[in-house]
A and B are shown apart, each in its own frame.
Chain A
């Protein structure tokens, strides 16, 4: 649990973060969005004290983040940044081993952890461990950057536009991998992005920042249905709203009794994917199959249309 209480940061006359209070539940993904210069990075860096706030407190699991030296705090919090920040003179394995080495883990434990993470990120430890960062592709470097941030098994992972430098296909894959890894390690993730698509894809809760203030902190569904300000509404993009709403829930939540013809869709797919398949195949309804492959009902165009409708 991360409790951010009344955090403000001023540089001279300008306030870049203004009286922000957020409570972030453990094992969730919170995404901070907002236009460039709205104070997202500053807020994130206040959590691991790369920036000292002008006022306010931050508690991690009830403990003030100033109760131990800043470097010790940072060894407990994973931190991944855009452009990965890998150390160019150290191998991939040495990069990942950075924090465990600082913490004084023994060699065997470090090696096991490095191998585990490389394997988890689909990089062969034998082939990639001894390489230098410049010998990797952008997507591979980014994965190593996240692996390094996770190496000491932090409960909290801070990420500042971690996928910003990746092309769209690799980015989508990196996002799915991140969600899988978050489930695996039960990490609490706070991620900064200016990509709304990414925010809705990853977030349990979204915090929207505007000129240093958090103007809304809500689940994606709440935010779509009840945007707090005109700014939030414009950030979401009026034209995208029904599709974002459908993207949140799975087909399992929209199953109706009955039968339908043609190719089936998995109940774990998003409702947006079901809508897309309905429109593309020109059908009124699709059969839905459960995890075991058995047909459990249908999903219909009319049903989805109702779900995609905003409040009237």
Chain B
């Protein structure tokens, strides 16, 4: 038996796919938002293609942020790397507090218009949640379990791979989830520097005073964020429940 919230999510997913593949079906719903002869459905490119490009940008940036943040968290939680903890904390914090718009503005002169500045902004912005969560996960492992791991004769590397990372995984995943959701929304501003994301739809709506464009661009991003958030959370829960949490 599917529970009601699950049904609801499946339904939302089906509607999203339908909208991306056959947007004109939804034309009557959006028509009231626009003036007489203005288009109610985005007509300057394929919504499906933009969505896929949007997801690709977020996926690449998050993958990069995950690799770097996790490597950093592992490094500073080893005995040999402990002295780098304060430094890496402040670096990552700067990445988070520096506004993505400013990163874009600084990156464009160096890398030119297109996807690259957006990737850099999203990467920097996504580091902090992953790093902080990985740090929490790796430093709050139960002492009796770590003691047992040493007592059974695991090497440092074996403890990391077999015990520490698996046990910290739900918390690390929660950090990745936060990062993905932030990136999904933030990626829209990439379109101001000509990255191909769903931001194009929103910007086109703003420029031509077309409320329907703004709403459909925003809704696609929002539904994507909710669905991906919930899917990752379900993965965390199933990992966690196996361990009896």
Q: Quick one: which of A72-90 are within 8 Å of B by CB?
A: 72-76, 79, 81-89
- Distance in angstroms from A257 CB to nearest chain B CB is 53
Q: Quick one: which of B121-149 are within 8 Å of A by CB?
A: 144-145, 147-149
Let me know if A85 and B155 touch, CB within 8 A. no
Q: Which residue of B lies closest to A48 (CB)?
A: B151
Which of A99, A132, A145 contacts B243, CB < 8 Å?
A132
Q: Do A98 and B242 contact each other (CB < 8 Å), given the known contacts A88-B145, A88-B167, A89-B166?
A: no
Which of A74, A88, A135 contacts B152, CB < 8 Å?
A74
A73–B151 CA distance with the chains assembled, in angstroms: 10
Q: Is B153 an interface residue (CB 8 A)?
A: yes
Cβ–Cβ < 8 Å partners of B11 in chain A: none
Let me know if B154 and A87 touch, CB within 8 A. no
Let me know if B243 and A71 touch, CB within 8 A. no
- Distance in angstroms from A154 CB to nearest chain B CB is 10
Q: Is A148 an interface residue (CB 8 A)?
A: yes
Cβ–Cβ < 8 Å partners of A98 in chain B: 152, 154
Let me know if B147 and A89 touch, CB within 8 A. no
Cβ–Cβ < 8 Å partners of B155 in chain A: 71
Could you say which interface size class chain A belongs to?
20 to 34
Let me know if B153 and A71 touch, CB within 8 A. yes
Cβ–Cβ < 8 Å partners of B242 in chain A: 89, 132
Which of A76, A81, A88 has most B Cβ within 10 Å?
Answer: A88
Q: Which residue of B lies closest to A79 (CB)?
A: B151
Cβ–Cβ < 8 Å partners of B28 in chain A: none
Chain B: how many interface residues by the 8 Å CB criterion?
18
What sequence of 0s and 1s flags, for each residue 275-311 of chain A, a beta carbon within 8 Å of any chain B beta carbon?
0000000000000000000000000000000000000
A194–B155 CA distance with the chains assembled, in angstroms: 31
What sequence of 0s and 1s flags, for each residue 94-108 of chain A, a beta carbon within 8 Å of any chain B beta carbon?
000011001000000
Cβ–Cβ < 8 Å partners of B148 in chain A: 79, 81, 84-87, 145
A83–B146 CA distance with the chains assembled, in angstroms: 12
What sequence of 0s and 1s flags, for each residue 190-232 of chain A, a beta carbon within 8 Å of any chain B beta carbon?
0000000000000000000000000000000000000000000
Let me know if A74 and B153 touch, CB within 8 A. yes
Q: Is A133 an interface residue (CB 8 A)?
A: yes
Q: Do A88 and B243 contact each other (CB < 8 Å), given the known contacts A81-B144, A83-B144?
A: yes
Q: Quick one: which of A36-76 are within 8 Å of B by CB?
A: 48, 50, 71-76
Cβ–Cβ < 8 Å partners of B152 in chain A: 74-75, 79, 98-99, 102, 148
Let me know if A71 and B145 touch, CB within 8 A. no
A87–B163 CA distance with the chains assembled, in angstroms: 7
Q: Is A10 an interface residue (CB 8 A)?
A: no
A135–B152 CA distance with the chains assembled, in angstroms: 22
Which of A76, A81, A133 contacts B244, CB < 8 Å?
A133
Which of A73, A81, A85 contacts B153, CB < 8 Å?
A73
20 CB contacts below 8 A, A to B, read: A50-B150, A71-B153, A74-B152, A74-B153, A79-B151, A81-B147, A83-B144, A84-B144, A84-B148, A85-B144, A85-B147, A86-B148, A87-B163, A88-B243, A89-B166, A89-B167, A89-B242, A102-B154, A132-B243, A132-B244
